[in-house]
Amino acid sequence: MLNTVKEHSPEAIAKKAQEMADGFLKKSKDKTLTIGIIGLGYVGLPLAEAYNKQGYNVVGYDIDPRKVEIINNGDVLLKHMDKTRMETLRDSGLLSATTDIAALKEADALLICVPTPLNAHREPDLSYVKKTTVELAKILHPGQIVILESTTYPGTSEEVILPLLEAGSGLKAGLEFAVAYSPEREDPGNPNFETSTIPKVVGANTPAEMEMAVATYNIITTPVPVSNMRTAEAVKLSENIFRLINIALVNELKTVYAPMGIDVWEVIDAAKTKPFGFMPFYPGPGLGGHCIPIDPFYLTWKAREHGVSTRFIELAGDVIAQMPKYVIERISEAMSTHLKKPLAGSRILLVGLSYKKNVDDMRESPTLHLIDQLRQRGADVQYHDPYIAKVPMTRDHPEYHGMQSVPLTKEGVAGFDCAVIATDHDNVDYDLIVREMDLIIDTRNATARVTGLPKDHVIKS
């Protein structure tokens, strides 16, 4: 009885936890640590590359055999990670991509980078996270750390991940394996930042687990420890809520200034010359991507559980949700005023299908909403996007699968009544659009870079 008491004393527990952490830290220092990454998309693949560059073995797991084949062949999966980078990754011999989750047994750190969408009722869909966790629990062994990177509500790691891992493995978190949370901060297509130059927020609930989590990310970047997993989860939501609210604000200002004859982009450019107290955000046709249109509503859902109203966040979401409709009305008005044509029966070319410039990511793209609403109004709609030659199969818009990008040439745009610039890719010939199109609706101020050509047929929206 005495021995049992000693084994469960705070001192004995702390000692056992520290022994687990010390073994992990030694592997990290010796570069014998193996990193397991679950989900090889916009978050997981750059992570794999970052660890690869530091000479660490990586086991990448994905349920999509096509992705796995592309990565193992050194082919391009994401447009912003070119052929040279992918071949370097393949030729290093330090990355193996697989569809066999059992291969993750050899990993010391397991980083979960799977989708966390919303369902039709704006409620968190944790099905991908839960399924992944259940499978990982089957192969979990002592000494491993499991870190969730997917964005979610505060409490997910502690209330969902940890119990599933303990129940499925029979091991005790904090003593036999570790759990932590570190929100992804990828910005695909941004040439100024990459995984290794973006500080990484890390949260864990015990000192030993925090040591292991910090050591995991210290390999590739600067860790920013916070007091626990809930705080780390809240950090990511706060970052994206900040962006949502400010983007909603400038979009509302756009709708206020337009009837006054004021160019909101000119206002923003002048305001940002103030060296303090102002940060520029820019309007557009709506919000896209997997973060800003989704993440804030994880907090609104969780807040309701605590009886708290998130009016500011929900208002911002409502403002943004109206932007595609606002753009459609501007197109309709411009068609009638400039071309004396109705929207019904017109031919519209949407320039840019991805949700942001210089990437091939069309998740939650506002352009898809524009296509929907224009077609409902009877318009014939096509698109041009240098990053998306053909629309892939998507969960929300299977009807657009196979739709092909129209070539941006004089001949290619002939016959279209109007071009709508929805995404401001850098490698689009805006001079040709301004020169050849009779009417242009510019939702991104992309035509501002065109000089020497008349622009009285360009309507900013």
Q: Specify whether the CB–CB gap between 147 and 112 falls below 8 A.
A: yes
3-state helix, strand, coil in the chain (%, to 5): 45, 15, 40
Residues in the chain: 461
Annotation says 291 is catalytic = yes
- Return the H-helix or E-strand segment holding 57: strand 57-61
Q: Is the dihedral of CA 451, 452, 456, 457 positive or negative?
A: negative
User: How far, in Å, CA of 189 to CA of 81, rounded?
Assistant: 9
CA distances, 415 to each of 167, 339, 360, 367, 374 (Å): 63, 13, 27, 21, 17
Which of 347, 301, 279 shows the shortest CA–CA distance to 124?
301
Question: Which residues 6+ apart lie within 8 Å of 219 measured at CB?
Answer: 28, 33, 51, 54, 56
Catalytic: which of 178, 201, 245, 291? 291
- As a whole number of Å, the end-to-end CA separation of the chain is 76
Q: Specify whether the CB–CB gap between 118 and 321 falls below 8 A.
A: no
Taking each helix axis from N to C end, the angle separating 83-91 and 44-53, rounded to the nearest 10 degrees, works out to 60
Helix, strand or coil, per DSSP, at residue 198: coil
Question: Which residues 6+ apart lie within 8 Å of 157 measured at CB?
Answer: 148, 179, 180, 181, 203, 229, 230, 233
Query: CB under 8 Å, gap of 24 or more: what pairs does 396-402 form?
Result: 396/368, 397/368, 400/368, 400/371
What are the helix and strand counts (H, E) for the chain? 17, 13
User: How far, in Å, CA of 41 to CA of 64, rounded?
Assistant: 10
Query: Rounded to the nearest 5°, which phi and psi values hold at 175?
Result: -120, -45
Active site residues: 291
